[in-house]
Amino acid sequence: MAASKPNPAPSNLLKVVVVGGGFGGLDLVRHLASAPVAITLVDRNNHHVFQPLLYQVATAALPPADIAQPIRDLLKGSNITVRLDEAVGLDLHRRQLKLRSGGMLEYDVLVLASGVEYTYFGHNEWAAFAPSLKTVKDARDIRERLLSAFEDAENTSDLDVRRRLLTFVLVGGGPTGVELAGSIAELARYALRKNFKHFDPASARVILVESEPRLLSGFTDDLADYALRALQRLHVEIRLSARVSSIDADGVRVGAEKIAAGLVIWCAGVKGTKPASWLPVTLTKHGTVPVSADLSVPGHSNIFVIGDLASVQSSSGEPLPQVAAVAKQEAHYVAEVLRSRLNQTKPPAPFTYRNYGMLAVVGRSAAVAQFNRIRLKGTVGWLVWGLAHIFFLIGFRNRTAVFVSWFWEWWTNRRGARLIIGSIAAVQGKTDQDKSQQGPGATEAGTS
C-alpha cells in the first residue's frame, strides 16, 4: 500500500469511526446514514457475514456467497467511507486509529464493534488441530477438511485409519456445537448416502463434548433436553460434564479417554478481540469491555463498545448473550445517543435489552425456539427458525438463494456446496500431515 490518504471527511463534520462490519457495526452505520456525520467503517474483510448460518457453509449446505454481502454494496451513503483494512492500534491522546496499511484514521467518536474470537483456554497449540468457526474462510476450511476426511476414508483400506478419519469431535455444546453436530450427522447419514464404495458414510461418528452437565446453557432445561434427544436420534454421541485435556494430530483426549479423530472443531470459548486491550479499562475475564449505562467506555464518553465485545448486564444482573439481536439493539441505541448529542437534546435512558427470543437448530425438522414464555420445538420450531433466518438475511438475492438451497436440500436430502476447491496436494497434506507419499513435481500431472 502506498501512503494512505488521511480521513477524507470534511473537517466540519463529526468524524465517527466504526471498527467491524458485523451486525453491530453495520446497523450503527445504517442508523447514522442520514445524520450530519462523516462515518468511516473499517473491516479486514470486504463482506458482512450472516454468522448464524456460517455452520451451514462449514457443512456444505450453503455456498459462502449466500450468507455474505460486500459491505461497500450495503453502505453506499454519501457520508460513509468503507475501508478494507485492519485496526492495529489506538492513540487515545491524538484520537487516531492506526491501520495495518500504515494509514491513520482521525476520530471524534470511535465505536468498537470488532467482536470476539475463539480462545483455546491457554492452549493455543490446539488451534492447529481443532479449527474454530468465525469467518467465511474458517467455514470453507472446515468444509474442505470435512469432505476430504470422507474422500481419504474411501482411499484407505486400513480400518483403523478409516475409523479415525470418520470420527468428528465438536468441543462445546452451545448453539454452534449443537448445530454443527446435527448438520455433520445429517451430512453423513443422508447427503453422502451411496456416495462411497468402501464404507457406509452413516458409520461416521459425531461426538459432542460439553464441560457443563447440559447443552445450550442459554435455553431452558426442557429445550436443551429436546436438543439432546434430537441429536441422539441422529446418533450423535454426547459427553456431558466432560473436559478436553489435550488435542493433537491424532485426536482428542476427553478425561481418561483418547478419541482418535479425523477432525476436531473447537466451539468452546470466546474472548474479546484485540481492540479491547487498547482501552484504559480493566476487561472482564473474557476480555470484553465493561461499558457504562450509555455503552460508552467509562471515562471516555466518545468511545463506545457494542456487540459481542461489550459486556453489558441485563436487568436481572446476568451478562447479555453474545448474539446478533443484542448487537443490533446496542447499535440502534448508540445511534440515538449520538443523535441526541448532535441535536443537543436529552440523552436516551440507559440501554436495556429486549429479548425477543432465541433459536437453535438441531437438524431437519428439529429446532428449539424460546420467546419469553413461548417455547417451540420440533417441526414448528424448525419452520420458525427457517423463516426467521431468511427474514433477517440481507438482500433479496440471498433470501432467494438460501430459500432455493434449503428447499432443494429438504426435497433431495443432498447438499448444494460440496466442493473441495483446494488442490489435492493441499488436501492430502492437510489431512495426513504425518505421512508423505507425494512424489516431487506431482502437481504437473493433469487429471483435469
For a copy of itself, the binding residues in 192-211 under the rule CB under 8 A are 192, 194-198
Opening angle at CA 31, ends 394 and 313, nearest 5 = 90
- Within 264-303, the residues that bind a copy of itself by CB under 8 A are 273-275
Q: Does 124 bind a copy of itself (CB under 8 A)?
A: no
| 41: three-class secondary structure by DSSP | strand
- Within 175-194, the residues that bind a copy of itself by CB under 8 A are 192, 194
Which residues, 6+ apart, have CB-to-CB distance to 148 below 8 Å? 420, 427, 428, 430, 431
For the chain, report the end-to-end CA distance as a whole number of angstroms. 37
- Within 405-444, the residues that bind a copy of itself by CB under 8 A are 405, 408, 412, 414, 416-424, 428, 432, 435, 437-439, 442, 444
Q: Does 45 bind a copy of itself (CB under 8 A)?
A: yes
DSSP symbols for 93-109: TTTEEEETTS-EEE-SE
By CB under 8 A, name the one of 102, 299, 347, 350 that touches a copy of itself: 102
- Within 126-155, the residues that bind a copy of itself by CB under 8 A are 136-137, 140, 147, 151-152, 154-155
- One-letter identity of residue 193: R
Piece of the chain touching a copy of itself by CB under 8 A; list 98-106, 216-224, 329-337, 382-390: 98-106
Of 342 and 419, nearer to a copy of itself (C-beta) is: 419
- Within 55-84, the residues that bind a copy of itself by CB under 8 A are 63-66, 68-70, 72-73, 76, 81-84
Kindly state the smallest distance separating residue 171's Cβ from a copy of itself, in Å: 21
Kindly state the smallest distance separating residue 293's Cβ from a copy of itself, in Å: 24
Piece of the chain touching a copy of itself by CB under 8 A; list 100-108, 311-319, 329-337, 343-351: 100-108
Piece of the chain touching a copy of itself by CB under 8 A; list 156-164, 230-238, 289-297, 366-374: 156-164
Q: Does 345 bind a copy of itself (CB under 8 A)?
A: no
Residue 160 half-sphere exposure toward CB, CA atoms < 13 A: 4
- The residue to which cell 444482573 is assigned: 317
Q: Does 114 bind a copy of itself (CB under 8 A)?
A: yes
By CB under 8 A, name the one of 87, 208, 242, 331 that touches a copy of itself: 87
Of 282 and 448, nearer to a copy of itself (C-beta) is: 448
Of 199 and 353, nearer to a copy of itself (C-beta) is: 199
Q: Does 391 bind a copy of itself (CB under 8 A)?
A: no
CB 380 within 8 A of CB 362: no
- One-letter identity of residue 123: H
- Within 314-343, the residues that bind a copy of itself by CB under 8 A are none
Of 66 and 330, nearer to a copy of itself (C-beta) is: 66
Of 213 and 446, nearer to a copy of itself (C-beta) is: 446
| 311: three-class secondary structure by DSSP | strand
Residue 321 to residue 269: CA distance in whole angstroms: 13
- Residue 20 φ/ψ, nearest 5 degrees: 110, 125
Distances (CA, A) of 405 to 105, 279, 383, 408: 41, 43, 15, 5
DSSP state of 434: T
Kindly state the smallest distance separating residue 212's Cβ from a copy of itself, in Å: 26
Q: Does 34 bind a copy of itself (CB under 8 A)?
A: no
